[in-house]
Amino acid sequence: MGNIKQRYDAETSHFKDLSLLGLFVDNHDNARFLHNHGGKNAQLRNATVFSLTGLGIPFVYYGTE
Protein backbone atom coordinates (compact mmCIF):
# COMPACT_ATOMS: atom_id res chain seq x y z
CA MET A 1 0.00 0.00 0.00
CA GLY A 2 2.93 2.30 0.67
CA ASN A 3 4.05 1.87 -2.94
CA ILE A 4 0.62 2.92 -4.18
CA LYS A 5 0.72 6.06 -2.04
CA GLN A 6 4.23 6.86 -3.27
CA ARG A 7 3.06 6.46 -6.87
CA TYR A 8 0.06 8.75 -6.33
CA ASP A 9 2.33 11.31 -4.67
CA ALA A 10 4.75 11.16 -7.62
CA GLU A 11 1.94 11.52 -10.16
CA THR A 12 0.54 14.53 -8.29
CA SER A 13 3.65 16.48 -9.27
CA HIS A 14 2.88 15.84 -12.97
CA PHE A 15 -0.91 16.10 -13.15
CA LYS A 16 -3.40 18.56 -11.61
CA ASP A 17 -6.22 16.07 -11.03
CA LEU A 18 -5.41 12.36 -10.75
CA SER A 19 -9.11 11.48 -10.81
CA LEU A 20 -9.16 12.38 -14.52
CA LEU A 21 -6.52 9.81 -15.48
CA GLY A 22 -7.52 6.44 -16.89
CA LEU A 23 -6.86 3.17 -15.06
CA PHE A 24 -6.59 -0.12 -16.89
CA VAL A 25 -5.05 -3.54 -16.34
CA ASP A 26 -4.18 -4.34 -19.94
CA ASN A 27 -4.96 -3.25 -23.47
CA HIS A 28 -4.63 -4.34 -27.07
CA ASP A 29 -1.30 -2.52 -27.61
CA ASN A 30 0.70 -4.66 -25.16
CA ALA A 31 0.85 -8.27 -24.06
CA ARG A 32 -2.20 -9.09 -21.98
CA PHE A 33 -1.97 -9.33 -18.18
CA LEU A 34 -2.49 -13.09 -18.01
CA HIS A 35 0.26 -13.66 -20.60
CA ASN A 36 2.75 -11.67 -18.52
CA HIS A 37 1.69 -13.23 -15.20
CA GLY A 38 1.50 -16.91 -16.11
CA GLY A 39 -2.27 -17.13 -16.33
CA LYS A 40 -2.81 -16.35 -12.63
CA ASN A 41 -6.49 -15.44 -12.53
CA ALA A 42 -6.39 -14.32 -8.88
CA GLN A 43 -3.83 -11.63 -9.73
CA LEU A 44 -5.97 -10.47 -12.66
CA ARG A 45 -9.02 -10.22 -10.38
CA ASN A 46 -7.04 -8.21 -7.82
CA ALA A 47 -5.65 -5.87 -10.47
CA THR A 48 -9.12 -5.40 -11.99
CA VAL A 49 -10.67 -4.60 -8.59
CA PHE A 50 -7.93 -2.04 -7.99
CA SER A 51 -8.54 -0.44 -11.40
CA LEU A 52 -12.27 -0.20 -10.62
CA THR A 53 -11.80 1.26 -7.14
CA GLY A 54 -8.57 3.25 -7.44
CA LEU A 55 -8.22 6.94 -8.11
CA GLY A 56 -9.08 7.60 -11.76
CA ILE A 57 -11.42 6.54 -14.54
CA PRO A 58 -11.55 2.74 -14.96
CA PHE A 59 -11.28 1.18 -18.42
CA VAL A 60 -11.99 -2.51 -18.97
CA TYR A 61 -10.98 -3.77 -22.39
CA TYR A 62 -12.66 -6.56 -24.30
CA GLY A 63 -11.12 -9.85 -23.25
CA THR A 64 -10.27 -8.75 -19.72
CA GLU A 65 -13.82 -8.82 -18.42
Q: 52-64: per-residue pLDDT in tens?
A: 999 999 999 887 7
Query: How far apart (Å, rounded) are the C-alpha atoms in residues 8 and 31?
Result: 25
Task: Say if residue 2's pLDDT is above 90.
Answer: no
Q: 11-64: per-residue pLDDT in tens?
A: 999 999 999 999 999 888 888 888 888 888 899 899 999 999 999 999 998 877
Task: Say if residue 65's pLDDT is above 80.
Answer: no
pTM for the full predicted model: 0.77
Q: What is the DSSP string of 12-56?
A: HTT-S-GGGSEE-S--TTS--HHHHTTT-HHHHHHHHHHHHHSSS
